Amino acid sequence: MQTQTLTLLPHTPGIEHRLTVQRFGPPAAARKALIQAALHADEVPGLLVAAQLRRLLQALEAEGALRGEVLLVPYANPLGLAQLMHGQHHGRFDLRDGINFNRGFADLGAAVIEVLRGRLGGDATANQARVREALGQAAQQLTASQ
């Protein structure tokens, strides 16, 4: 198992949140699966399943039984997990403005379309690589501008 820790953009000055990604199986595998728990933060059953799944994936990886890469995000919403108020979990919504953490998706469509215009052809594998590259570039621009 490889563990990757991603530092999230600051929500509050001086407070840092991190996202943990646990990777199992061959990293260069063509097939990948992403499993995330507690996206809405207060989903305790998902946390328990992720903990058990981690043990099972570690065993399968040790046996060499994984043919693809599995990415496990055991706490997909660390900001939400940190929000407790009067004994209640309010992890789905930002306490500052009430906006749902899980609905603020970046729209990369326009940037990707602009980059890909006239660059796609009849080769599906080449097209897939170009689309992934364009998405990666758009995501990098998004993080660089924040």
* Residues 125 and 138 grouped into a single domain: yes
The answer for residues whose C-beta is within 8 angstroms of residue 25's C-beta and 6 or more apart is 57, 61, 66, 67, 68, 69, 70
pLDDT score at 131: 96
What does the alpha-carbon distance between residue 94 and residue 80 come to, in Å, rounded to a whole number?
Answer: 8
* Residues 8 and 19 grouped into a single domain: yes
The number of folded domains in the chain is 2
Range of the domain at 138: 106-146
* Residues 93 and 125 grouped into a single domain: no
* Residues 44 and 79 grouped into a single domain: yes
Give Cα separations from 146 to 47, 103, 116, 134, 141 (angstroms): 30, 18, 24, 19, 9
pLDDT score at 115: 92
* Residues 131 and 86 grouped into a single domain: no
Per-residue pLDDT of the chain (146 residues; tens, 9 = 90+): 999 999 988 878 888 889 999 999 999 898 999 999 998 887 889 999 999 999 999 999 999 999 999 999 999 988 888 888 888 777 778 878 888 877 777 889 989 999 999 999 999 999 999 999 999 999 888 765 55
* Residues 91 and 116 grouped into a single domain: no
Is pTM, for the whole model, over 0.75? no
What does the alpha-carbon distance between residue 33 and residue 69 come to, in Å, rounded to a whole number?
Answer: 6
* Residues 57 and 76 grouped into a single domain: yes
Give Cα separations from 141 to 111, 112, 129, 137 (angstroms): 10, 11, 18, 6
